[in-house]
Amino acid sequence: MPGQVIDGKAIALKLREAIMERVKALKSQGILPGLAVVLVGEDPASQVYVGHKAKACQEVGIKSEVMKLPASTSEAELLALVEKLNARPDIHGILVQLPLPKHIHEEKIILAISPDKDVDGFHPLNMGQLFIGSPRLVPCTPYGCLKILQELGLDIAGKQAVVVGRSNIVGKPMAALLLQEHATVTICHSRTRNLSEITKTADILVVAVGKPNFITGEMVKPGAVVLDVGINRLPTGKLVGDVDFSSAAEVAGWITPVPGGVGPMTITMLLFNTLEAINYARK
Ligand SMILES: Nc1nc2c(c(=O)[nH]1)N[C@@H](CN(C=O)c1ccc(C(=O)N[C@@H](CCC(=O)O)C(=O)O)cc1)CN2
């Protein structure tokens, strides 16, 4: 029997309703949550995501300021903007949309964002906290994957989890989150040998490699939960994940589609983190 398709949009909407209630409560205490979103350059996908973020903020009542800078912006100019945002008491969360133009070092920018306002959870302090088991602000995409598992009531403790991909944004924090939930975690990457032998052991398979249809049905354990983090636009314009949905859905117990799976959760967890960041604001 084909696996059940996970409706990430529906889960995201449910969580956003709870976020909206929290925003109302904060406003009644005189606190208006504020998020700054910085976009450098004209990358079309980034423009879409930033637009989605601003719209989502508006829908739940968070104040968002989108700052669009030309691709020619220097690293020093961007650092100066981040410093200004760090100092603003009305801004609780700061996010610099990735990827940045090649001449700007992402690591330097991430390091410059105050860890207390780092709603992406990419700052080494927040990453380190996650890895020592005391999470603070958690990267939105892996956090969204975890929420999907929790919202569906799927067991994590004691399960074999395999994460394919070792990026700082998704793979590594995803592994840390699953470990925190007591899964037995394996991380696979481009140099992994016998990949399908490992993926076939996974009760929970998270795929974030950025390669269209990379994982096929024969690489999936029957009944597994498959979370597809990939978003790849084919030359035809069609959006596909890193998992070949039709063959994997025949084998999996649960599977996220692309679009409409993990993506909407990423933005929901950004809203969630913006409210969490209020707890770290200097009084
Ligand atoms: N500063 C950051 N940069 C980037 C992040 C991030 O978390 N922080 N992640 C990605 C892009 N991203 C958010 O920024 C993101 C990607 C995709 C989606 C999404 O909702 N996707 C939809 C499809 C949208 C489409 O039509 O293109 C879906 O999967 O249903 C949300 C956010 C890289 N940069």
Question: What pLDDT shows up at residue 1?
Answer: 67
Whole-complex ipTM: 0.96
Of these residues, 97, 159, 172, 228, which one is catalytic?
97
Rounded CA-CA distance 230/249 in Å is: 16
CB 151 within 8 A of CB 13: no
Candidates 118, 120, 242, 244; catalytic one: 120
What is the per-residue burial (b if ≥16 Cβ within 10 Å, else e) of 165-188? bbbebbbbbbbbbbbbbebebbbb
Residue ranges lining ligand 1, Cβ < 6 Å = 48-49, 52, 95-98, 120, 140-141, 231, 239, 258-260, 263-264, 266-267
pLDDT digits (tens, 9 = 90+) for 60-83: 999 999 999 999 999 999 999 999
Residues 184, 200: Cα–Cα separation, whole Å: 14
DSSP 3: P
User: Tell me, what's the pLDDT at 3?
Assistant: 82
The encoded tokens of residue 234 equal 């084919």
Residue range 184-205, pLDDT digits in tens: 999 999 999 999 999 999 999 9
- Note the pLDDT of residue 283: 63
* Residue whose CA lies nearest to ligand 1 atom number 23: 259
Domains of the chain: 31-115 (3.40.50.10860), 138-263 (3.40.50.720)
The answer to whether the annotation marks 64 as part of a ligand binding site is: no
Res 243: pLDDT: 98
The 3-state DSSP class for residue 112 equals helix
Q: What's the confidence (pLDDT) of residue 2?
A: 78
Both tokens assigned to 220: 């999936």
Check if 120 is active-site.
Answer: yes
Give residue 122 CA to ligand 1 midpoint distance, Å: 15
H or E element: which one contains 254?
A: strand 254-255
Higher pLDDT, 3 or 279: 279
For 110-219, where are the E strands, in sequence order? 160-164, 184-188, 204-207
Q: What is the pLDDT of residue 18?
A: 98
What would the mean pLDDT of 133-158 be, rounded to a whole number?
98
How many CB atoms are closer than 10 A to CB 117?
26
Atom 11 in ligand 1: which residue has the minimum CA distance? 49
Question: Of all residues in the chain, what percent carry a pLDDT higher than 90?
Answer: 98
208-259 pLDDT, tens per residue?
999 999 999 999 999 999 999 999 999 999 999 999 999 999 999 999 999 9
